[in-house]
Structure 1
Amino acid sequence: MKNKFNKLLFLFALSAFAVSCSNDDDHDHEDHSDDTAQEYKYVRVLVSDEKTAELSLVNPVDATASFFDAKFPKSALYTTESGRFAGIIHRADNLVETFDSGFEFHGDHVDTKGTAKFGALTGESLSPTHFKSKLGEILTFNDGDGTLSVAKESDVHTPGAKFTTINAELKAHHGAMASFTNGTYAITEKDNSIAGTLPEKVKIIDNTGKTLFDAKLVTTGIHGNATDGTYAVFGSGSGILVVESNGNQKYIAHPEGFGTAWFGTILETAYAGKFVGYTAAKGAYLIDVVNNSVTPIIENTKIMQCKVSYNQKKLGVLLHSGEINIFDLNSLKSDKKANIIAATAENSTQKPQLELTERFAYITSPTTGELLQVNLSTLAITKIKTSATPYRITIFGHENSAGH
């Protein structure tokens, strides 16, 4: 009798354990990846304000926002390589802040690490402007003195953590940098061969600021850059400047008929050796640095915003007319085209800003204090209340809905 009783207890415990494990699996890795009508659970949108220091942290899933106070208004916003953190750039006030989404990616799921909050890591430098994040680092180029500021993502919550300075003995200029996978940097330099604040050439340095490879080409001005870790690509008046970590440099010619136009914006894609070049004078083009080719994606002189999606597989283009165009960056075919917002005057001082995920486009409405969430499948629009005068936005977190 006792043995039968013990067997029953064992079977009951085994059954409970199986149910418990089954429930844990369902709960811990719940995934709505096929639910295209809804944004991924762990995506967030951070919005700065033009006139106040208020930040709006938008949860697109339930169309709500929570609010935080940055140090200053009118900040530029960027996302770090891991997707977990945002960089908040106060150029005019010589300050960089960090902000934590609270979401940490683990390959097949996302862990929640406390609540969304500011990081302890800050940076103080002269006119921090250009932002990049690669190899676990956060970088700014400081226009005020031509230095780099660098910190590690892993130090965002280290009490008292500060960005450190890399001084490559450069003149102050409106510059940029790019990280290579071997840990070196391509950095612009100014030799005053042209007037103004734009640099003319690019050299390779290490993390102490030591020059490893001098510039091989001198341009008529550089603005805009991106890197895939192997190639660093810079927009230049002399041609598209391609730089490698071994010091090799080359130009890719602009398309025929460009005249004096050149790409002032270069964007990274999900495809090795391929970048998007954008100029308001001509439109957006795919740059293939391996095949030395430049292919039109959209040729239009009325583009208001041109952005690569969060997964870097789509290109979103918002025209002044209010029309949005979505392109697949693999096929270069148009995925969607529709009038989505009212027209914006080309001389408007504060224009709507665009960012997009795999499933949605996000557009600020500076006059109504809203973020518009546009479903890329149905074009349905959800309006989410933000601070009164939304200024800049960045998407961070992870395009994933599986969590613990």
Structure 2
Amino acid sequence: MRTKFFKILFIGCFSVGLLSCDKEKGKEVSPEPDTEFKFIRILVNDEITKQVSLVDPVTLAVTNFEAQYAKTALYGTQAGRFGAIVATSNNHLQLFDTGLEGHGDHVDVKGTPKFGALIGDSNKPTHFKSKGDEIITFNDGDGTLSVAKQGDFHTPGSKMKIINAGNVAHHGAMTKFDNGTYAITEKDGSVAGSLPERVKIIDATGKTLFASTVQTKGIHGNASDGKVSLFGSSSGILVVESSGAQRLVAHPQSFGTAWFGTILEGKGDGKFIGYSAAVGAYLIDVKLNQITPIIESTDLIQVKVDYAGNHLIALLHSGEVKIFDLTTSAVVKSGSVLVATAKDETQKPQIEATSRYLYITQPKSGEVLQVDIKDFTKKTKIKVSPTPYRLAILGIESSEAH
């Protein structure tokens, strides 16, 4: 009997081995799990209170923390481990550590979730970017940049370093190139108001490496793939290369006076998404100088690129969500997920998405709605703070531990 038992066990293991080989060859063995990735977290802040909620979307556990200020902007760092909480009117930046550190094929857990020690106390930090292990803010109050490295995030008493590029105060923005230089807006005073008109390239000391060669009638919105940076402008899309070369790409004639005040980064070199509430969302291909529609609509609340960078998620006032493949611009999923939101509503739902789920704030009920991307009827309500304001996806799309 024992001999037969081991034969059966051996055959069973051999069969499993064959199934594993089939999987390696690209044959689907089992369906995708009906859960979120184990190492994804959702950070949610509040409009009225200082409460910050960290949601584990697999267990649905919610851990609450208290930030320095309410009604702040939330961002994730490029590596996914940290979130940034930016209080512009209070001249303050805090970092939040999920404790999840990605290592390519697996994720390590580095302690428990907590606030970092580093503080940003610059003059109206407004625009945030993360590149590699560095975080950057553009400070509207004086036109400077503030930067810090991840290695200092838990160093007691550490503060962000100021880079002074000789700017005046304005509502500006910046990007960082792969070669370590920065593209930063500047205001020459040719247009009334707070918007800048030009972009120059500086080094880490603030020294100008390449002066602006293109003047616009106002800039807002920016993105970069590390090689080229795009800035939204009423004069056209300003393309700035790390070499210093600059040019404008014209908007479609149908735009009239509309222009992209928001630029998002898609996955892949030279692919970006331009967004305007007046016309919708468009794919921008800077290599071909082409602007093609993804969704043309005046009913959009938000458009967001999903966490993996493969899809554009569009949330409409009607309560409908449309998901577009950024490779083809084709709709891959659409359907109603919410009741309609009035266009004059003061606090509207905010949306983010992983490859598996949508996450949408519900400001009136104090919840975050988790929606299965494969089946919009599968919804889970997660109670967070009284009036959820913004949310950010943190962590890594992985379930593989060390």
TM-score, normalised with respect to structure 2: 0.92
**Percentage of matched positions with identical amino acids:** 58
Secondary structure at the residue paired with 2:200? Answer: strand
Q: 1:280 aligns with which of 273, 277, 281?
A: 277
1:187 aligned onto 2:193? no
Aligned to 1:396: 394
Q: In 2 relative to 1, CA 224–36 (structure 1 residues): closer, same or farther, beyond 3 Å?
A: farther
Aligned to 2:251: 254
Aligned to 2:336: 339
Aligned to 1:314: 311
Q: Note the 1:157-306 alignment, pairs <5 A.
A: 157-306=154-303
Q: Which aligned segments of 4 or more residues in structure 1 are displaced greater than 6 angstroms?
A: none
Q: Which amino acid aligns with 1:195?
A: A
Q: Which amino acid aligns with 1:190?
A: K
For 1:336 and 1:39, how far apart are their aligned partners in 2? 18
1:107-158 C-alpha deviation (Å, 9 max, x unpaired): 1000000101101111101110000011311000000110000000121111
Aligned to 1:136: 133
For 1:112 and 1:128, how far apart are their aligned partners in 2? 30
For 2:181 and 2:370, how far apart are their aligned partners in 1? 39
How far residue 99 of structure 1 moved from its aligned partner, in angstroms, is: 0.5
Contact 2:79 2:132 in 1 (8 A): no
1:230-271 C-alpha deviation (Å, 9 max, x unpaired): 010000000010001111001111112111100000000111
Secondary structure at the residue paired with 2:89? Answer: helix
1:264-291 C-alpha deviation (Å, 9 max, x unpaired): 0000011110000000000000000010
How far residue 34 of structure 1 moved from its aligned partner, in angstroms, is: 5.5
Structure 2 residues without counterparts, runs of 5 or longer:
1-28
Contact 1:64 1:385 in 2 (8 A): no
Contact 1:75 1:89 in 2 (8 A): yes
For 1:90 and 1:384, how far apart are their aligned partners in 2? 25
Q: Which amino acid aligns with 2:392?
A: T
Aligned to 1:61: 58
Aligned to 2:147: 150
Q: In 2 relative to 1, CA 33–274 (structure 1 residues): closer, same or farther, beyond 3 Å?
A: farther
Q: How many residues align?
A: 373
For 2:253 and 2:208, how far apart are their aligned partners in 1? 35
Q: Which amino acid aligns with 2:288?
A: N
Q: Which amino acid aligns with 2:157?
A: G
Q: Which amino acid aligns with 2:396?
A: H
Q: Which amino acid aligns with 1:323?
A: E
Contact 1:33 1:401 in 2 (8 A): no
For 2:335 and 2:285, how far apart are their aligned partners in 1? 28
Higher relative contact order (CA 8 A, sep 6+): 1
Q: 1:374 aligns with which of 371, 374, 377?
A: 371
How far residue 36 of structure 1 moved from its aligned partner, in angstroms, is: 4.0
Q: Which amino acid aligns with 1:154?
A: G
Structure 1 residues without counterparts, runs of 5 or longer:
1-31
For 1:172 and 1:36, how far apart are their aligned partners in 2? 50
Q: 1:387 aligns with which of 385, 388, 391?
A: 385
RMSD: 1.1
TM-score, normalised with respect to structure 1: 0.91
Q: Note the 1:23-38 alignment, pairs <5 A.
A: 35-38=32-35
How far residue 348 of structure 1 moved from its aligned partner, in angstroms, is: 1.1
For 2:255 and 2:302, how far apart are their aligned partners in 1? 20
Q: Which amino acid aligns with 1:283?
A: G
How far residue 159 of structure 1 moved from its aligned partner, in angstroms, is: 1.7
